[in-house]
Structures are given as structure tokens and as C-alpha cells.
Structure 1
Amino acid sequence: MPPIVIVGSGLAGYTLLKEIRKRDSATPVMLVTADDGTFYSKPNLSNALAAGRTAATLAGASADRLAADLNATILTRTRVTAIDPAAKRLHSDGGELEYDKLILALGADPIPHGLVGAGAPEVLAVNDLADYAVFRRAIGGRQRVAVLGGGLIGCEFANDLAHAGFEVDVVHLGDWPLERLSPAEAGQRLADSLAALGVTWHFGRTTQRIEPAADGYRLALDNGQTIATDVVLSAIGLRPRTQLARAAGIPVGRGIQTNSLLETGVANVYAMGDCAEVNGLNLPYVQPLMVQARALAATLTGVPTEVAYPAMPVMVKTPAHPVAVLPPRIGAAGSWQVECGDSGVCALHLDIRGRLQGFALTGSETGRRTTLVKALAA
């Protein structure tokens, strides 16, 4: 009998494999990955400097160790090039592979930065452990780092770099950080706290050009301002990997589209993690991924289980000023009610009847998240 095949060795793929083995120790499972299959936790990449961790110390178990521990076949350095759903077969640069059930846990790619100039190829992005190793080498012995993007990952890297003593410039198109997740008061409090740590903000701006200079690089912003820096890190967002699915005729939108069982529009093919769009939602965070893995493992081992998300606040790893956010549902009618204290901001998103729909907490107010999550659940 052909195996269950998982494509992708990120947190999604390995978590699913582990959840399957909790329920079923014998069904053949194969995991296929284009890299060396070393396990690591991607969320740790954006605060590894403060933790004193290098790429080597972030690396966990090897593919060989995991294959033995989990009674699975793990094919490393094997890139899947096409899916043939009718034949239930994968084409890869290592040959053809049959599957019984196929799970796409492909992750996401950094959005292209779009910069021009001779320095454009030197702009870095950190999307995996290998990228982080390159980034650590690039900042060694340097002092100045420019971060493109003030979203969640950009803020976490800015905090980590500034804490480590780097001069950090953040260029952000929005008027405050995390503007897609929180109201202005909460975002501004985070911005002020990072500024106190040494971060220089450039709000409402985009970077247009990067050129090498004798002492590093010069970034040209859309208002004519220039920034001198040694290293440029792009953190403007991620785009789900959908190319493989699209080429196979699997429906895609923002991500690979699935229902609550994580089934795609093609029989015996599932998707989960950063590449998946589950009932119209692409949630590239750890907690949704864990919920998906548990549900899908149950489904694949004979107990069809729909994904049912609890209230899932996102914790932003910015020790200079912690942030916990749980945005309201897309399209939810209501408004932010904001209270600002000396040590934090509490913003509640309420509907017209005063019912809680989401929250954004900063600083000391993050301690209220458990109570608010319970209120939302009720």
C-alpha cells in the first residue's frame, strides 16, 4: 500500500507526522523535503540573537534521527516538481513517488522586495534556518541594519537587533507598526518603546533603490531621504506557496484552498500550515498550525475531524514592549475602545452591542489576555 506522503519539513509537516504517530504507529508515512530535513522552530529565528543562539544551536534533531524515532521514511534534498492526482503520484528530481493520501505543507516564500539598484541582490530575507545562517554571517562585525517592514516579523527582528547593540532603521509603509493587527495607540506604544531601545522609524515610507557604498549600502526612500546601512533585511511579508498545487489543477486563492477537513478540491490531497487557505482564511501562525495538525492526524487515521479554532491570540516577541493581539474577524462591524496607561495599552474591539470581538494589549496589559480569551470563548 502506498504511504501517506507529507511534502514539507517545516513545523507544519513535522508536527503532523508526530500527531499521526501518536494515533497510529504502523501506517507507512513518508515526508519529502527539499532541504536536509533538520527540525527547528521557525518562530525562534526572529529572537535568536537575544537568546544567544546561532543557526547551529537552533537546529534540533536530524532527519535520520526523526525517521528512526517516528518510524517514517524521510527523503531529504528531494524537490517535488509536479503532482499527478489522477495517478496519485508525485514527480520529483529524485524519481516518481506514489501516495495514498497527500498532504501539502509547503510553507510560504518572502514577498519580493521589488528594489532596484546594484545592491538589490544583496538584500536578505530570513525564512528558514539556512537563511538565518546567512544573516548571522552578514551581520558579523557590522553595526547598522535596515529592516524593511514593520509588521510582526519586522518588529521582532528590530527588537532583537537593537537589544544586541545594532543601530536599526525600520522602513514601514504604514503609519504605525502592526497596523493590520492593532489600533494606532497600541502600535505607537510599541514604536516608542523600540525607539527608546535605539530603533529609528521611517513611517509612511517605501524603499525604492539600494546602491553599494564604500561603507555599506545607501537606501533611497520615496521621499528622497537616504539611509546608510551595512545590512538590509526584508521583512515585508510572506506569500503562500501555491505553484505546485495550481499546476496540478488544485484550487488556490491566497493559499491552497481547503474545507474544514483540510481537504483540497482534489480527492486525497490535503493542505495545512502557511500554504493553506482554510475556509477562506490563511493564518500563518503557530497555534492554528497545531490545531490543524491534530485535526488532520485524526482524519488521516480514520476519525474525520474538522478544524475548530479556539480564540488564538498572537504574542509578538518584542521584550522592549510585549504585545498580544487577537484581531476581530475580517469584516466584523464594530470599533476599538482604547485605554492607555503608563505601562501599557488595552484596546478592545466591540460590536454595536458592546460584545467583545478582539483585542490588542501591550506592555503590562498583556496579562489580561487569558481573561479576555475566556470572554471571547463564552
Structure 2
Amino acid sequence: MVAPIVIVGTGLAGYSLAKELRKLDATVPIVMISRDSGDFYSKPMLSNALCAKKSAASLVLKSSVAMEEELRAQILTHTLVVKIELQARCLHLEGGRIQFYSTLVLAMGADPIRPVMAGNGGDSVLSVNDLDDFSLFEKSLAELDARNTSRNVLILGAGLIGCEFANDLLARGFNPTVVDVEDRMLARLLPSQASRRLQTRLETAGVVFRFKAAAVSVNRAADGLAVELSDGTAMRCDLILSAIGLKPRLGLAAQAGLAVHRGIITDEKLMTSEPGVFAIGDCAEVGRSVLPFVMPIMFQCRALAATLTGTPTAVKYPAMPVTVKTPACPTVICPPPVRAEGAWDVHETEDGLEALFSDSTSPDRVLGFAIQDKSISKRQQMAARVAT
């Protein structure tokens, strides 16, 4: 019996790869291993599900059973991989089962970074990184509704996810306060003028921002949660949502001896330091970058599917704009490379904002852009200007 291609993970990366493989090969055996139910859903919808009046259950697009049928694959749900044995080309699963593979693809995703805080309320801090997380978050909000409290939600982190959840919570009548150690929102992605424009719109809509501060302690109180910030101030809230970032799941790979850094290190063909083992998605470090966005994952999956079906293909990225789901101020960002050296050129009017990030050594070379409000109609035009 031919050992299958085994994909560890049934998130966007895992399922997208399986779909791309089936486009190219209808018969290759595929086994997918999921730590949860394996149901297929759109992860980007998690941060604007409240505005769309979506519940955790309604976010499910297809069950794991339906995905098995569609992909003609075996999907092992609620199954943990405890060890990768590279020499034997097998996985040790929880409960003692062994799963052999011909090719192994690690698409395990990332875990939310957990804030370290003093006090007795640290275990009450929530994060939303998957459907189960969102279900718990949804339940917690419903409990606040039932208690008829002041409905104050503290969000830790003013990055993409924190800003999107802040805007989304407004749609349900909650009062979000966003705390971040930076001096402005989306500081690593936007020029200051765009940050200010987005902040002003969200503040007008009802969001409160506290910058240059972090939550250092949280304690349960009679009227909710008492939080102390690093700037010496205190505040009270009913719920805390952490959105301070993600950390790729590296434990299995590192234990097996695969090269890891910020993610599981791969070459341009997504192969790890071990031939026959590949990594994609939020857990992969490709070209010294971890790109936790939808579009890079799609390009990785197409390239890897070609490689695994006999056509070695390096992943190449075009300009990949990201839509920030903040209806209060429509924003699209095409971030420059992390280590890029350059400067923003910003043009702002009442109707919109356009910003280009140009290479410091070659000013005509555009490395990224940001657009807001009516200017988002120029998304494709701006993307065409970005050097790839």
C-alpha cells in the first residue's frame, strides 16, 4: 500500500493545499490530521462576525465529513500528533496510533501570544484564533448581555485583529477600549497620517485608545475586572480580549530536529530542512518571513501542490494587499517587506488617503502602499506599482 501525503492541520492552509492537490491529481492518497472538529470555515470572518450577525455555528461552511467527500481524503478529527519520526517517515498520534507518510506537510498554524500579567484574573483573558475560540468569545458576550452590565471590553493590541474586533464590537453595542505599547495603531503597517485617520474615525464611532501602555495585572472584582496599566493608571472592564499577536506552532518540528527560527524554516519550494517534509501557512518561515495573511497562503498552496505532483515550483508572491475590516474607515494595506528601508510619501484629502512606501536607495521603486476611504477604489492600480 502506498503511503499517503499527510497534511497536519485543517485550517485555511491545510484545506487549500488539499484542494489544489485534487485539481492536479485525482487519485493521490491524502490524509489530513486535525486537532479539532476539522470543519471548514473562513478564519478571516472571525473578526467581523458580530457585525455580520454570524454565530460560531453559522460560520461553518462545510463539515469535516463533507470535506472528506469533496476532497476524497481521510480526515482524522480531534487527533493530536505527539511526535514526528523522520527516519521512519511516520507520525505518532495520541493514543498510540502510527500514521506513515510518503510526504509530510506541516500546516499547523499559530497560537495566540498570551500576555503575562499579575493578579488572579489572568485566566479570564480570551483570544480568538479559531472557531472554538470564537464560540467561547460569543458565549462570554452573551453572558454580558444577560447580566446587563456596562459592556466594557478591553482589547490588548492595536494591530490588525485588535482594530477589527474593536470596530466589530461596536456593532453589538459594546464599549471597546484598545491598549497598545506603541504610540499609535497599526504602527508597523501604516504611516502616521493613516494611523491617525483610522484612529479618529474609530474614536468617533466609540472606541477608546490608550497608547504607550500595557496591561500588567488583572484581578476579579465585584463589578467585573480591575486592570492596572504600565503607565500607572487603572481601569475596569467586563471582558478582556488579547490580540497582541501570534506565535507559530514550532514544538513538533523542533522536537523532530527540523530547523526553526521565528517559524519552521523552508526554502523557496516550501521544503523544510528535511527532504520530503514541507511547511506552509502561519507556521512556516519562507524567505525569512512569516506571513500570516490569506494571499501568501494561497500562493504557497498552489506552488506546493505543483511540486508534490511532479512539477517543482518555487513560491513567488505578487503584491498582496490586505483589507482591514474597519467599516468606520475603509483601509487597504500592502505592507513593505519587514526589513525594507525607505520612506512613506503620503497624500491626504478629505475624501481619501494614498501613501506609497519607496525604497531609500531607489526612490522610484515602490515597496508598499496604504489607501483609505474613497482611495481604496485604486487598489489594483496601486498594487500594479509595487515591485515584486
Instruction: Give the equivalent residue in structure 2 for 1:119.
Output: 121
Asked if residue 358 in structure 1 is aligned to residue 368 in structure 2, the reply is yes
Match of 2:295 among 276, 283, 287: 287
Instruction: Give the equivalent residue in structure 2 for 1:139.
Output: 141
Aligned sequence identity (%): 46
CA distance in 1, matches of 2:292, 2:315: 15
How far 1:343 sits from its partner (Å)? 2.9
Q: SS of 1:376's equivalent?
A: coil
Give 1:372's aligned amino acid: M
Give 1:28's aligned amino acid: P
Instruction: Give the equivalent residue in structure 1 for 2:77.
Output: 76
Give 2:377's aligned amino acid: G
Asked if residue 22 in structure 1 is aligned to residue 23 in structure 2, the reply is yes
Q: Give the TM-score normalised by the residue count of structure 2.
A: 0.95
Q: SS of 1:220's equivalent?
A: strand
Deviation beyond 6 Å, 4+ runs, structure 1 = none
Instruction: Give the equivalent residue in structure 2 for 1:53.
Output: 54
Asked if residue 371 in structure 1 is aligned to residue 372 in structure 2, the reply is no
Instruction: Give the equivalent residue in structure 2 for 1:275.
Output: 283
Instruction: Give the equivalent residue in structure 2 for 1:312.
Output: 320
CA distance in 2, matches of 1:244, 1:125: 23
Give 1:5's aligned amino acid: V
Unaligned runs of 5+ in 2: none
Instruction: Give the equivalent residue in structure 1 for 2:228.
Output: 220
CA distance in 2, matches of 1:210, 1:51: 31
Give 1:34's aligned amino acid: R
Q: Give the TM-score normalised by the residue count of structure 1.
A: 0.98
Instruction: Give the equivalent residue in structure 2 for 1:43.
Output: 44
CA distance in 1, matches of 2:92, 2:215: 40
Instruction: Give the equivalent residue in structure 2 for 1:194.
Output: 202
Asked if residue 66 in structure 1 is aligned to residue 67 in structure 2, the reply is yes
Could you list the per-position Cα deviations for residues 85-110 of structure 1 after superposition, in whole angstroms to 9, with x for gaps in the alignment? 11101001141110000000000000
Instruction: Give the equivalent residue in structure 2 for 1:180.
Output: 188
Asked if residue 348 in structure 1 is aligned to residue 356 in structure 2, the reply is yes
How far 1:351 sits from its partner (Å)? 2.8
Give 1:232's aligned amino acid: I
Of stretches 345-354 and 1-10 in structure 1, the one that deviates more from structure 2 is 345-354
Give 2:100's aligned amino acid: E
Give 1:346's aligned amino acid: E
Q: Is the 8 A contact 2:367 2:387 kept in 1?
A: no
Asked if residue 154 in structure 1 is aligned to residue 168 in structure 2, the reply is no
Q: Is the 8 A contact 1:163 1:197 kept in 2?
A: no
Q: Is the 8 A contact 2:107 2:282 kept in 1?
A: yes
CA distance in 1, matches of 2:374, 2:338: 27
Match of 1:105 among 94, 104, 107: 107
Q: SS of 2:385's equivalent?
A: helix
Unaligned runs of 5+ in 1: none
Asked if residue 7 in structure 1 is aligned to residue 13 in structure 2, the reply is no
How far 1:377 sits from its partner (Å)? 5.0
CA distance in 1, matches of 2:367, 2:28: 42
CA distance in 2, matches of 1:269, 1:130: 28
Match of 1:230 among 224, 234, 238: 238
CA distance in 2, matches of 1:366, 1:132: 29
